[in-house]
Structure 1
Amino acid sequence: MHIVVATTRASELENFLAPLKELPEAELLLVENGADTLAKVKDLAPKFVIVDENLSDFEPLPLVTEIMKINAMVNTAVFSSMSDKDFHDYSEGLGVLAPIVPAAGKEDGIKLKELFARFM
C-alpha cells in the first residue's frame, strides 16, 4: 500500500512518519513538490497522500483538489496551521481525513496511523 508524503521536511518529520511505516504493507514515498505528488497519484493510485504546507508549487488544499480530480478514492491528510474552524471551512467537500499540526511528532503519527487503519 502506497502512502505519498509531499514535504520538504522529511528529516524533520521522521518521528511523525515512523508509526505510519507500521501499517500493513505500507510503503512511504517521499516527494518534495505538488507536481511529483500528482505524478505518483496518476501512476500508483496510492491509498493515502499527506500534504505539507511548504511545497514550492502548490498550497495544500489546491493540491488536494487536483488529487481528487485524478482519483477521488485517494484519502488525504494535510499539515495546516489554520484554526480548526478555518480548516473545516476551507477544506469542506474535499474529503480531507484530518488536519495535522505543522510540528507533528510521534504521537500525531500514531493518531494518523490509527485513522488510516480505519480506511484500509
Structure 2
Amino acid sequence: MTTAYHQYAVEGFELNVTDYLLKPFSFERFLQAVHKVKTPAGKEFLFLNIQHKKVKISFSDILYIESQREYIKIVTAQQVYLCKMGTQEIEALLPASGFLRVHRSVIVATAKINAYRQKCWK
C-alpha cells in the first residue's frame, strides 16, 4: 500500500497488507516492498552466474555480501563467490526477513550476527 496519508496505516495493516509506504519514499525502500511480495515463500536458495556457470547458493550459508564496484562478493563459511551484479540487484533477490543492509556496500545475514557496536553521535 502506498499513500501520502499516515492515518491509513492502521487500516492497511488490519487488511493484512504486505507493506505500507508513506509518500515520498525512496526507490530502495520501494524495492524492499516489492521484494516482500516477489520472494516465493519457502525459497531457500538462489542460482547466480559465477565464472560462466550457474551456482546454487543457499541463503542459510551466506554470512555477508559486499559490493566490489560492478561486482558483489558473497561470503559463506565455505567459500567466497564473485558475481557481476549490483548490491540493489542482489538485495531484491534476498529474503528481507533474513538480511539487513548495514551500509551502502554491505548486506549481512541477520542470523549470523553475534555482536555489534552501536556508534554514538554527539
TM-score, shorter chain, exceeding 0.5? no
TM-score, normalised via structure 1 length: 0.26
TM-score, normalised via structure 2 length: 0.26
Q: When you count helix as a share of all residues, which structure comes out higher?
A: 1
RCO higher in structure (CA 8 A, sep ≥6): 1
Q: When you count strand as a share of all residues, which structure comes out higher?
A: 2
